[in-house]
Structure 1
Amino acid sequence: MNLTDAQLPPLVLEYQLDAPPEKVWRAMGIPALREQWLPNAELADIEPVAITPGEAISYRMRDDRPPYLESTVTLQILPAADGGSLLRVIHRLDDARLTAANDGGLHLMRAA
């Protein structure tokens, strides 16, 4: 059975961070800081595809192996009760070529 793009659930990872949301946002939003943990080489385009200032930013990513599938990774920041942050990474494989490239095995890209 082959899953279609619409049926593939996103990969969601959550990280508790000691830093306040404003500091995490700065690390995500400033390209020179973002490059340290999400390199330009991992991105299909270095410009974000969507931004909700202070809350979420989305980038298009490209796999580094054929068939070079693309996906969207959204980095969402939520305030934590202890003054820190919850960083939610939502990685959605939404490339239209996924069904054609998927030969019965599910191809997962590296999560940010």
Structure 2
Amino acid sequence: MNADHADGSSDDLILEYQLDAPPEKVWRAISVPGLREVWLPGTTLVDPEPTILSPGEAIRYRMREDEPPFRESAVTFRIAGEAGGTCLRIIHEIAVGRRRIEPANSNAPPMLRAA
């Protein structure tokens, strides 16, 4: 497994795994809902349908935390066949749809005036 932040945003988490399974089997595990539920429960997904789908190559799901503040993210799974197995690259984009929450007040320190 490799983990790095060199690809894209520094907030992205990128993991790479070398698997001893053929690409077709790995693709089924990440794209067929019944098989995906075993390791990625639908309750963590915003929508069980993928937002990006390139059959046999890449699939992306939107995820949401189950506790406040319920931040959203996206996880992309990319597969590539290699001699004797499959390379699975997982890119978890933390900053998807990040909104800055503005305070109701100016949130500035109070300014006192001398009389």
**What's the counterpart of residue 35 of structure 1?**
37
CA distance in 2, matches of 1:62, 1:17: 27
Name the counterpart of 1:109: none
Whole-angstrom distance in 2 between the partners of 1:91 and 1:7: 10
Q: 1:9 Cα shift?
A: 3.3
Corresponding position of 1:61:
63
After TM superposition, the structure 1 = structure 2 runs for residues 89-104 of structure 1, keeping only pairs within 5 Å, are 89-93=90-94, 94-97=96-99, 99-100=100-101
Kindly provide the amino acid, as one letter, of the partner of residue 90 in structure 2: V
Deviation at 1:16, TM superposition (A): 1.1
Deviation of 1:96 after TM superposition, in Å, equals: 2.2
- 1:14 pairs with 2:16: yes
Larger Rg: 2
1:19/1:7 CA distance change after superposition, 3 Å: closer
Q: What is the aligned-residue identity percentage?
A: 55
Instruction: State the TM-score, normalizing by the size of structure 1.
Output: 0.76
CA distance in 1, matches of 2:24, 2:12: 26
TM-score normalized by structure 2?
Answer: 0.75
Note closer, same or farther for the CA distance 1:78–1:64 as it changes in structure 2 (3 Å cut). same
Count of residue pairs brought into register by the alignment:
94
Q: Would you tell me which structure has more helix in proportion to its own residues? A: 1
Residue 112 of structure 2 corresponds to none
**Cα offset, 1:7, TM superposition:** 5.3
Larger relative CO (CA 8 A, sep 6+): 1 or 2?
1
Structure-2 residue corresponding to 1:80: 82
Unaligned runs of 5+ in 2: 1-7, 103-115
Moved over 6 A (4+): none
Q: Which residue of 1 aligns with 2:54?
A: 52
